[in-house]
Amino acid sequence: MFNSLIEDIKRNFNFLILNYGFKIDEVRYDETDFGNAYVEYKNQDITIRIIRERGEYFMDINKNRTDEWFSFFYFIKLISPQELVSKNIDILSIQLSEHINQIIIQMNENNYNATSESLKRITSEYTSAMFKH
């Protein structure tokens, strides 16, 4: 099972290596927890973590040299508010490929502080809305 899950992630996100200078930095698999897995792709500026948890896929993005991780879901709410984020690996990889250039720009040195503040605000708004009901 390990090989097929990890290979699925690698196949779907290979464009990060081929087109954007990412390298696989870390791979983890835990067969005791529903086959949870993750693969981290890292380039000189950012790290993208692809996570499989309980059969669904998620993605987090980190500016290297910081401790802050942001969900791809909130990035999409920032750059394409009406778009829905998939938990299907095939669609998630397409969504990332469509937005990776904009994410790289948002995470560069000139934009990072403003992006970080915007993502924190969006995260807070969504979290608050979830608990209002």
Domain range for 47: 2-130
Query: H helices of 69-110, where?
Result: 72-79, 89-106
In which band, very low, low, confident or very high, does the pLDDT at 128 lie, cut at 50, 70 and 90? Answer: confident
Cα→Cα distances 83→40, 72, 110, 125, 133, Å: 24, 12, 26, 17, 23
Looking at the 3D structure of the chain, how many domains does it have?
A: 1
For residue 58, give the H/E element and its range: strand 56-63
More confident of the two residues 5 and 16 = 16
Average pLDDT over residues 9-27: 96
Average pLDDT over residues 14-36: 89
Contact 56, 72 (CB under 8 A): no
Average pLDDT over residues 98-116: 96
Structure tokens at 56: 């669904």
**pLDDT tens track for 86-99:** 999 999 999 999 99
Contacts of residues 5-9 at CB distance under 8 Å and 24 or more positions apart, as own/partner, are 5/29, 5/35, 5/37, 5/52, 6/37, 6/39, 8/89, 9/37, 9/39, 9/50, 9/52, 9/89
**pLDDT tens track for 64-87:** 989 999 999 999 999 999 999 999
> What is the torsional sign of CA 37, 83, 100, 65?
negative
